[in-house]
Amino acid sequence: MTTSAVPEIAPRVPLRVVPRDGGADLSAAETAAADFLTALGIPLDSESLRDTPRRMAAAYAELFAPRAFDLTTFPNDEGYDELVLARSIPVQSVCEHHLLPFVGVAHVGYLPGERILGLSKLARVVELFARRPQVQERLTRQVADWLQTHLSPRGVGVVVQAEHLCMSLRGVRAAGATTLTSALHGSVRDDPATRAEFLALTTSTLRA
Ligand SMILES: [Zn+2]
């Protein structure tokens, strides 16, 4: 009996991230949208508005459906130990209190441990948690927690700046006002120099 001389390499299968299927019933949503608009006194009998309930249903279904992706990671063979930072990732979410959009940017950084991440995946993680009824504080924390759990980096930092249409267009009507949230883990939170570096690199890109 012979044994293989090839060193055993543990296969690292990328984690396939499939968002939970909310089971959208588009036909029921269309009926409800028609009832909703009619109840608000908006007649649907013009050619332009006739299909609006169907479009509304499809639009919200899309806003609540993040795309599946593979969390591709690579061994950190070079021992890279500086911050990896993706800045100005678009954030497109929906406030769960008013069901109006909030939009802005996220800056997501991590200090690599044993694995590094395909860079585009940081944007996919943001989308994973943005495309659902959300509040900005939870979105920020969920992105940081998820990366901490699945990548096991030495630290994670997430900063989100967004304008909430429920604040811009109604209520206080504070157009242009933005909300800033952050979530830090590991040495990005606990090491003063790393924390200062992360915040300097992220807040320098923020709109005043
Ligand atoms: Zn709101």
Burial classification of residue 84, based on how many CB atoms lie within 10 Å of its CB (0-12 exposed, 13-18 middle, 19 or more buried): middle
The answer for residues whose C-beta is within 8 angstroms of residue 189's C-beta and 6 or more apart is: 155, 157, 195
Structure confidence by residue, pLDDT tens digits, 75-114: 999 999 999 999 999 999 999 999 999 999 999 999 999 9
What's residue 9's pLDDT?
47
User: Region 9-27: what's the mean pLDDT?
Assistant: 74
Query: Any idea which residues carry the catalytic annotation?
Result: 95-98, 136, 164, 166
What's residue 144's pLDDT?
98
User: Region 168-195: what's the mean pLDDT?
Assistant: 93
User: Region 198-206: what's the mean pLDDT?
Assistant: 84
Task: Judge contact between 155 and 174, C-beta under 8 A.
Answer: no
Domains delineated in the chain: 25-63 (1.10.286.10), 69-203 (3.30.1130.10)
Compute the distance from residue 134 Cα to the ligand 1 centre, in Å. Answer: 9
Q: How far apart are CA 127 and CA 89, in angstroms?
A: 9
Compute the distance from residue 137 Cα to the ligand 1 centre, in Å. Answer: 12
Compute the distance from residue 168 Cα to the ligand 1 centre, in Å. Answer: 10
Compute the distance from residue 150 Cα to the ligand 1 centre, in Å. Answer: 30
Structure confidence by residue, pLDDT tens digits, 137-150: 999 999 999 999 99
5 pLDDT more than 60: no
Compute the distance from residue 133 Cα to the ligand 1 centre, in Å. Answer: 10
What's residue 205's pLDDT?
67
User: Region 146-166: what's the mean pLDDT?
Assistant: 96
121 pLDDT more than 50: yes
Least confident span in 141-145, 174-178, 197-201 = 174-178
